[in-house]
Structures are given as C-alpha cells and as structure tokens.
C-alpha cells in the first residue's frame, strides 16, 4: 500500500514509538484493514505482513482501514516471519492455546510493561498474529520470547484477527495515556459554590413550608435531609442551580427568589 507517512501523532511531530504488528499469513483483506485502523486508533503505525493470501496492496484492506493505511507508513511485506522481525530485538507471539513450548505467558495487559521497558532501552519489539483460522505455526512461536494470550471466555475464545490486534494495541494506548481517573465533564460550567446551593435549598424549603409539603413538624428534619442529599449528590453546576431556581419560580406562579432568580 503506497501510503504516505503524513500522520502527526505526537505534538512534536515525531512518530510515537510502539510495537511493530506482524500479521502472519493473513487471509482476508478486510481483517488487515480493520487491524490497521485499530492500530492507528491506538497510535501504532508499523504494520508488516508475511505472505498475505490475496497479495498486497489489497482494495478490501484499504476500504476497511477507513483511511488508516493512507496515514501510516508503508506496510511492508515479507516472505517469512524471520524476515519480518529481522530488525526486532524482542518478539511476542499471540496464541489462544498454550503450546508445548516453554515460554513466558502474558496477557495483553502484562506484556505492555515488558514491551515498554524494551522500547525505552532502544529495542524494537514486534507482536506476531497468526492466520484467521489456524493461528501461528509452532515455528513462529519458537522464534518468540514470550506468548500473549487474551484470557477470553473459555466457551467461545476465538477472537477475530483485528479484535486480537486491538486488545494489544488498546493496552499499549492505555499505558501511553497513563492512568485516566474518572472525571466529571462540565463543559464550560463551574461547580456551584456551596453558598449558592445552600441559598437554593433554603428557598426550596421555605416554599415547601409555604405550600404545606411537610405533613408534620416531626417529619420535617428527615425529609429535609433527604431532599438536601438528593440535590447535593447531583454535584450541580452554577447554571443548573439557576435552572432549579427557575423551576421553583415557575411552579410557584412566577414569584422570584430574594436574590432575583
């Protein structure tokens, strides 16, 4: 695929380092294209093919890549797996089944720190993926330093080739972006300062008193607590509190709060 290397993925314009992805004996162009898309989604760009069944370039791969192949460096094609990884210092093989070979067995999650350490040390690392139905040959596994197995549902563990590429690429990406804790997205809105929330709650409680919401004085404290909990838990913004004031104003017949809401 005569793609041009025009991707600018790092802010400084350099290509991000990352594992090389090697597809050995891939059959369907669609899977090659989908794998390329998944790679670039995750910032990986060095795709190599060993004996692609339908030759290369491949129009179906191109279509399924959704533009990824045009934005990645040119895909390289090799006659043997050994040729494809000739310049690599560490090779890992993805396989669903443990084989009768003595190897470190990783998940996509545990291999990433290993790859990362290697890359930081200046090594080039490669991950092998086998053919759609048959997986990697034992000889390909033998030339690998480690095996990667995705711990899938044992009752239905056959993963699509591009999906397999995604699991490793995704783990790589997650490690690159670091720990992303959950956050509250507020757009341009600010969280409300407590005094404005308090002002609203007091107003609401006053209106509820006025409208005889609390059946008995004994029930009032617990009910007020429940109402306050509800609005506090919602972690409101300034704008949302203004909206709530507007709702109270509307429901009470247009009588604005003392603050003019």
Which residues would be at the binding site for a copy of itself (CB under 8 A)? 7-9, 34, 37-38, 40-43, 66-68, 71, 98-107, 109-111, 114, 146-147, 150-153, 155-160, 162-163, 166-167, 170, 173-174, 177, 180-189, 235, 237, 240
Q: What's the closest the beta carbon of residue 48 comes to a copy of itself, in angstroms? A: 19
Q: What's the closest the beta carbon of residue 82 comes to a copy of itself, in angstroms? A: 20
Backbone angles phi, psi at 120, to 5 degrees: -60, -30
3-state secondary structure of 10: coil
User: Minimal CA–CA distance to 133: which of 47, 28, 50, 52?
Assistant: 28
Backbone angles phi, psi at 131, to 5 degrees: -70, 155
Q: Is 12 or 100 the residue whose CB approaches a copy of itself more closely?
A: 100
Q: What's the closest the beta carbon of residue 5 comes to a copy of itself, in angstroms? A: 13
Q: Is 122 or 187 the residue whose CB approaches a copy of itself more closely?
A: 187
Q: Is 181 or 217 the residue whose CB approaches a copy of itself more closely?
A: 181
CA–chain centroid gap for 217, Å, is: 53
Q: Indicate the burial class of 2 (C-beta count within 10 angstroms; 0-12, 13-18, 19 or more).
A: exposed
- How does 177-216 read in b/e, with b if 16+ C-beta sit within 10 Å? eeeeeeeeeeeeeeebeeebbebbbebbbebbeeeeebee
Separation CA 69–CA 173 (nearest Å): 19
Q: Is 50 or 192 the residue whose CB approaches a copy of itself more closely?
A: 192
Q: Is 239 or 252 the residue whose CB approaches a copy of itself more closely?
A: 239
Q: Is 181 or 260 the residue whose CB approaches a copy of itself more closely?
A: 181
CB atoms within 10 A of CB 160: 14
Q: What's the closest the beta carbon of residue 81 comes to a copy of itself, in angstroms? A: 20
Q: What is the DSSP letter of 78?
A: E
Q: What's the closest the beta carbon of residue 4 comes to a copy of itself, in angstroms? A: 14
Q: What's the closest the beta carbon of residue 12 comes to a copy of itself, in angstroms? A: 13
């Amino acid at each position: 695929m005569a793609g041009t290397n025009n991707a600018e993925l790092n802010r400084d314009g350099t290509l991000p380092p990352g594992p090389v992805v090697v597809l050995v004996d891939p059959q369907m162009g669609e899977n090659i294209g989908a794998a390329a898309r998944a790679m670039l989604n995750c910032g990986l760009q060095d795709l190599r093919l060993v004996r692609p069944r339908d030759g290369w370039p491949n129009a179906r791969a191109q279509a399924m890549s959704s533009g990824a192949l045009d934005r990645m460096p040119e895909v390289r094609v090799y006659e043997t797996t050994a040729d494809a990884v000739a310049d690599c210092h560490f090779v890992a093989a993805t396989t669903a089944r443990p084989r009768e070979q003595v190897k470190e067995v990783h998940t996509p999650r545990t291999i990433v720190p290993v790859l990362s350490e290697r890359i930081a040390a200046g090594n080039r690392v490669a991950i092998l993926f086998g053919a759609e139905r048959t997986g990697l040959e034992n000889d390909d596994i033998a030339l690998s330093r480690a095996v990667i197995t995705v711990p899938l549902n044992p009752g239905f563990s056959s993963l699509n080739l591009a999906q397999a590429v995604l699991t490793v690429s995704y783990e790589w990406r997650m490690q690159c972006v670091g720990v992303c804790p959950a956050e509250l997205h507020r757009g341009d809105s600010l969280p409300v300062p407590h005094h404005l929330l308090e002002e609203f709650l007091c107003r609401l409680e006053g209106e509820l008193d006025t409208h005889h919401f609390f059946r008995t004085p004994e029930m009032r404290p617990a009910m007020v607590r429940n109402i306050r909990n509800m609005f506090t838990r919602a972690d409101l913004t300034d704008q949302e509190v203004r909206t709530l004031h507007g709702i109270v104003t509307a429901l009470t017949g247009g009588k604005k709060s003392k603050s003019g809401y």
